[in-house]
Chains A and B, each alone.
Chain A
Amino acid sequence: MLFQKKNEQKRYSLPDNVLLKAEDLRVNIKIDGAVLNAVRGIDLELKSCETLGLVGESGCGKSVTSKEVIGINPSNCSSTGSILFKRKDGTVLNLLELERDGAEYRAIRGNEIAMIFQEPMTAFSPLYTIGNQMSEIILIHHPEATKKDAKEKIIEMMKLVGIANPEIRFDQYPHEFSGGMLQRALIAMMLSNEPDLLIADEPTTALDVTIQAQILDLMKRLQSELGMSILFITHDLGIVASMCQRVAVMYLGEIVEFGSVRQIFHNPKHPYTGNLLRSLPRIDSDREEKLYAIKGVVPVPVDLPEACGFHERCEQCMEGICDKRFPPVIEVEPGHFVRCALYGKSEG
């Protein structure tokens, strides 16, 4: 693999409306001699111009998955499987075959795949002006552009995301911005090369509710204006319901359920999805005396048995089945997939 020549790369293809497809993606992280199975064989498909939600609790592997797509996981991570991505010129690449620091990946990163992060306050360096940092993404990907061109483009982008007085803001430092304004600046910067895929990793978690509403509103508007796909990573089911068309629910490194947002919220099939929705306090229905609580805690993903990851906490766990093997993925209705032994014919 290491010595594979570039022109011998396998040819891949993707259907017309599919932008990104991960198959049997596994990511292991080496920590202190132990191996953490962060992502355990997931299949994921992202269509053009759709917003796909990746939801789950801390440690379920949602961030590791997204970082694997853009190729910024630390060096103690190793991955197998494939992530196919369709470039702007129509060629399809397996991102896992690319060298992390190679010219090809660098041409994609920030240009065709962009990412915004949870904490806009730490995403910018405090030492340089916002304008300086935002221009960089244009200057790197368009060597022919001058600083003046970049400034023009950035000011145009700042207007687009609703930053007032962009000419003044351009020369200010990050500490002169509020959290919400920094997230706007980050979004403006990441979208200035018009990427096909935007990865948003908990983009509003650090923000206040009313500011969160502003940013989500902005992302929706920009998506319809610029036409990009968004991979939206969050733990907040409320945000998923209002932002996404399709949803993948992750638990312990697996996608346990995948479907349209209505299928997941109105007809959840996997016990974890159903329980998670039940355990949320709601403001749109009558108050319940007592919240439903899922028993136990998420296990540490080290040396996991070949079994359903949720079986220890599941009320519908079938002894001898759920704790003995990996359930297969079943399509319970068109486009609605679930990985649970409760559904479909048992195999073997």
Chain B
Amino acid sequence: MNKDNIVLEVRNLTKTYESGKTKVYALSDVSFTAREGETIGIVGESGCGKTTLGRCIVRGIEATSGEVILHKDGRQIDFLKATKSEMKELRPDIQMIFQDPYGSLDPRMTVYDIISEPLRYFGNSTKDEINRKVDAITEKVGLDKSFLRRYPHAFSGGQRQRIGIAKSLILNPKVVVCDEAVSALDVSIQAQIINLLEELQDELGLTYLFISHALAVVRHISDRIMVMYLGKVVEFGDTEDLFKNPMHPYTKALLSAAPIPDPDYKMERIILEGEVPTPVNPPKGCHFHPRCRYATEQCRNTYPPFEKRNGRYIACWNSGAMEAE
């Protein structure tokens, strides 16, 4: 595994929905690169486009424009333009783990059928090979072999999530999109699954795109973090750096709003006024300006460029002024 190897490049990914004359930007102009073995955390509130981003990358929904370039064996292939037959070769490389371990497993299939289904569809493994692979992956995710003949209803949320992870990893993917993969779990189970995801990443060299609203979880698991607001990336940088010194006013408010499990923890909590506006008719200029206390005339009129500043990507007119404060 080489941490400098780029495995995935997302370029200007945009998803719009149209209804009559209105055009809604669910996702607008998102670009980033992901390296082998790294975890990129994607955070933001409901409606910010983080799930849309994940789904567009795996082609769960088709993006309106943009590219998702997969680096494979020295070739660069646009995943979004791949034909059906090409997809059969590429699909195993980008997989997804879902939030709801109750809704994402077919109740009428046995655990064995669920985990082996991708193998039966992709590639031409023999029965013996399939059995061997299923055995290996169930052991890796910490499930007992005796579970394979049972149905999903017999399992708890944590065990179901392990089944979902086994199913997603059995094709040896390079990139795994984890959409709120631990959000439905209790704290004590959540820690087990996070540890499992990290172990599997080290062992298999996986790249995770970890979508979540839980900031503490994202900080723990991610190397880099992308903060989204109303379909756009507002800040993108190294985890530690971003948590220590958030530069975008929205990131600042978001981090300060997270409740800290320490009764003596004193931090100035920035309570944002108002709510996330609807993407149907987003505010002119910077989308965040109606809730931002630093907003100026410039913010009200033009959307700021997404620029690199001090090793961090940020879209804000005022980050310089804020630092001086």
Contact = CB atoms under 8 A, between A and B. Distances in A.
A282 B243 CA distance: 11
Interface stretch (A111-119, A137-145, A205-213, A334-342): A205-213
Contacts of B239: 287
B220 interface: yes
Interface string B225-254: 000000000000001100100000000011
B240 A287 contact: yes
A284 interface: yes
A261 B276 CA distance: 33
Contacts of B264: 262, 266
B259 A242 contact: yes
A281 B189 CA distance: 12
B213 A208 contact: yes
A51 to B, nearest CB: 12
A265 B256 CA distance: 20
Interface stretch (B89-97, B126-134, B191-199, B297-305): B191-199
A292 B190 CA distance: 10
A283 B188 CA distance: 17
Interface string B251-276: 00111111111111100010110011
B24 interface: no
B194 A238 contact: no
A283 B243 contact: yes
A217 B271 contact: yes
A280 interface: yes
A210 B259 contact: no
Contact of B263 (A58, A209, A242): A242
- Tell me the interface secondary structure of chain B in the complex: helix
Contacts of A214: 271-272
A103 interface: no
A199 B16 CA distance: 42
Contact of A279 (B187, B219, B256, B272): B187
Nearest to A282: B216
Contact of B269 (A213, A236, A280, A294): A213
Nearest to A208: B45
Interface residues of B, number: 43
Contacts of A298: 186, 188
B217 interface: yes
A224 B240 CA distance: 37
Interface string B30-54: 0000000000000001100000000
Interface in A26-53: none
A241 B259 contact: yes
Given A210-B254, A237-B261, A294 B188 contact: yes
Given A265-B261, A275-B188, A291-B191, A297 B156 contact: yes
Interface string B178-189: 000000001111
B191 A238 contact: no
B158 interface: yes
A55 to B, nearest CB: 10
Contact of B188 (A210, A279, A284, A290): A279
Interface string A260-281: 0110011000000001110111
B217 A242 contact: no
B213 A209 contact: yes
B137 interface: no
B275 A180 contact: yes
A284 B46 contact: no
A148 to B, nearest CB: 31
A180 to B, nearest CB: 6
A275 B263 CA distance: 18
A240 interface: yes
Interface string B273-290: 001100000000000000
A281 B260 contact: no
Interface residues of A, number: 44
B285 to A, nearest CB: 20
A239 interface: yes
B216 A281 contact: yes
Contacts of A181: 275
B215 interface: yes
Contact of A294 (B191, B217, B272): B191
Contact of B260 (A241, A275, A292): A241
Contacts of A213: 256-257, 269, 271-272
Given A287-B220, A287-B240, A280 B263 contact: no
A23 B255 CA distance: 41
A261, A277, A290, A291 interface centre (most CB from chain B within 10 Å): A291
A207 to B, nearest CB: 9
Interface in A114-173: none
Contacts of A241: 259-263, 265
Interface in B48-66: none
A91 interface: no
A276 B187 contact: yes
A89 interface: no
A101 interface: no
Contact of B46 (A208, A242, A282): A208
Interface string A283-305: 11001101111100110000000
Nearest to A234: B259
Contact of B259 (A236, A277, A287): A236
Closest 5 CB pairs of A and B: A238-B259, A281-B220, A208-B45, A57-B186, A213-B257
27 contacts: A57-B186, A178-B275, A209-B45, A209-B257, A210-B45, A213-B257, A217-B271, A236-B259, A237-B187, A238-B258, A242-B259, A242-B260, A275-B188, A276-B187, A279-B188, A280-B187, A280-B261, A281-B221, A282-B216, A282-B261, A283-B243, A283-B258, A284-B265, A287-B219, A287-B240, A290-B198, A298-B186
Interface of B: 45-46, 156, 158-159, 186-192, 194-195, 198, 213, 215-217, 219-221, 239-240, 243, 253-265, 269, 271-272, 275-276
Given A282-B216, A298-B188, 6 more contacts: A178-B275, A208-B213, A241-B259, A276-B187, A283-B243, A298-B186
